[in-house]
Amino acid sequence: MRTQVGIIGAGPAGLLLSHLLHLRGIDSVVLELRGREQIESTIRAGVLEQGTMDALAEAGVGDRMKTEGALHHGFELAFEGKRRRIDLTGLTGKSITVYAQHEVLKDLVAARVAADGKIFFNVSNTSIHGIESDTPSIRFTHEDEEHELYCDYVIGCDGSQGVSRASIPAALRRDYERVFPFGWFGILVEAPPTSDELIYARHDRGFALVSTRSQTVQRMYFQCDPKDRVENWTDDRIWAELHARVDSLEGHEVVEGRIFQKNIVGMRSFVSTTMQHGRLFLAGDAAHIVPPTGAKGLNLAVWDVRVLTAALVAFYEESRTDLLDAYSETALRRIWRAGQFSYWMTRMMHRLDDASPFEQRLQIAELEHVTTSRAAATAMAENYVGAVAV
């Protein structure tokens, strides 16, 4: 089997890269461990930056995002019993769209299928070979048959547990990681929106986030012990915690409803350098993970793909390799910038067990600053919508 670009992973990065290459006449094959139904039904939140919205629209897969996604021009910061709004559009001229990641995946899969794109679902025993040669290959098993896919380049979009990153020799990689001592307890709720925009809440009991999924379904999170168990939280206990952390002195309250999903997720920051070796390139979670506080995960994956697409187009259309050679350096500039912003927001909004009372008051002072200083609010807004130059 032969193609130009072999892509491991049918997440947002792998599928968008495959489709963007297709639009420029470059052939690719996508290999995915999971089944189509599984990737399209795994519910994950999605806050799309302006650049991500533009990329999906330009790729011709943005119609449902525009009609079904919720366009937001700001968000609220809740602390000390009050709420203050960050006016994203007024400060930056840009906005965000809340559109779940699995909906993005549905749109991308449909686009690839409509274009007769080659996607192999439910593959196993995937391994990468010859990345230091001009003819790398990917071996895999599909429907009980062994295959070998020969290509010009291999792109690893297979997440933090995939085979791609491990295929770069450990001596050439350096991994940076920060594991946070807290997690998020997430719920999906049948209820009308609590607010027209996202609410990020800082409370002495811990962080909380209220997000609108639709006019009838809401996504909410609150800080918890990552070792806690879902079974320990009754619905009544969950609502008591959210009311304590989010309700304001002005009378704003969390709207309750039927909880139909509960889960606990850990929090960490991770960056692996380098993101390339020989004919292998990494994109998305295969190379970096950020805590969801700054809403950067999906957006960073799309940024990687945009950089890679430009580099591969330059190679196939102009026989240039300079952009491919500079891929890791180019991508990492934005990754570290987004990582810093996500870390800053996480430290400012969460209850930190190792923080002294003095440091806890500094969190409040910082929130006062970003919500009363136009310069500070602008810096926050630029980072949030992805408008920061790198």
Catalytic residues: 72, 200, 292, 296, 384
Q: Which two tokens mark 60?
A: 């011709």
Dist CA 14 CA 331 (whole Å): 16
CA distances from 345 to 81, 126, 130, 363 (A): 19, 37, 41, 10
Query: Cα angle vertex 205, ends 199, 210, to 5°?
Result: 20
Residues 6+ apart with CB under 8 A from 251: none
Closest to 5 in 3D by CA, of 283, 355, 361, 356: 283
First to last CA, the chain: 39
